[in-house]
Amino acid sequence: MSRLFSMIRLETRRLRVQPLTWVLLALSLAWLGWCFTRLLGEFLAGEIQRAAQPDSPGYVDLVAVPLLGQLGELALLVVPLLGMSTLAGERRNGTLPLLFAAGVPASRIVLGKYAVLLLWLLLWLLLALAMPLSLAHATTPDWGKLAAATLGIALMLAALAALAIAASAFTTHPAIAAVVALLLGLALLTVNFGAQLAGFDNGAINWLAMSTHVQNLLRGLVSTTDILWFLLLIAVCLALATRRLAADKERG
């Protein structure tokens, strides 16, 4: 465990001093702030019409959940950029053999880097969530639906982070790792579109799509199947990354 914590401290320091980390944080929060302002304006503009409807959507449906959806779309680009140098950068700079020489197991390297990346992404999610929560006292939000949507985006961030780690483990250049992680994330989100156009809505292809499970949670439907899908994807990605590093260590 001490080696894992040492790896987490080292990775935290590396991520903290990277200008790209803070640039992405600032730009993404600025974009989400603009989206929040726009969604809030549309919500207030239609308040009178919704008051005449008994089952009209509320603040969470029209502001909070769409804002989290915008964060999920941004994550497709932000997460690969943040995770591209986790292992590919170490390999390119020649520092990965130093970690092996220090006796750090491949599993500790992968878990340490994944933990730091995931913590940064969760902090990003909390900062974005603070925007709709800042006005929650003036509304009557559906806390259950908001919690389910937050869980869905958190699981999506965790899965995309694991994909980025795996892509970085199998490449030497960070830019290639970012492209691979981006393409994999897009593929997982869109793999079911063709099946839906063909009229298949409940097949295996639909189950493989990340969008199927994310949308269920964004609608407030929490299912063990959806949660297990994300956990399985994370476990497979981290296992593949660990196996690749272990093979590099054996080759010296």
pLDDT at 140 over 90: no
DSSP code per residue over 125-182: HHHHHHHHHTTGGGS---HHHHHHHHHHHHHHHHHHHHHHHHHHHT-SSHHHHHHHHH
Alpha-carbon distance of 235 to 241, in angstroms, equals 10
Please state, for a pLDDT cut of 90, what percent of the chain lies above it: 48
Q: 46-101: per-residue pLDDT in tens?
A: 776 766 677 777 888 889 999 999 999 999 999 999 999 888 888 888 788 787 77
pLDDT at 192 over 90: no
**pTM of this prediction exceeds 0.85:** yes
Query: What is the per-residue pLDDT for 89?
Result: 84
Residue-wise pLDDT for 13-55, tens only, equals 888 888 888 999 999 999 999 999 999 998 888 776 766 677 7
For residue 86, the SS3 value is coil
Output the pLDDT for position 195. 60
The residue among 177, 155, 172 whose CA lies nearest residue 234 is: 155
pLDDT for the residue numbered 2? 67
Handedness of CA 134, 137, 143, 146 (dihedral sign): negative
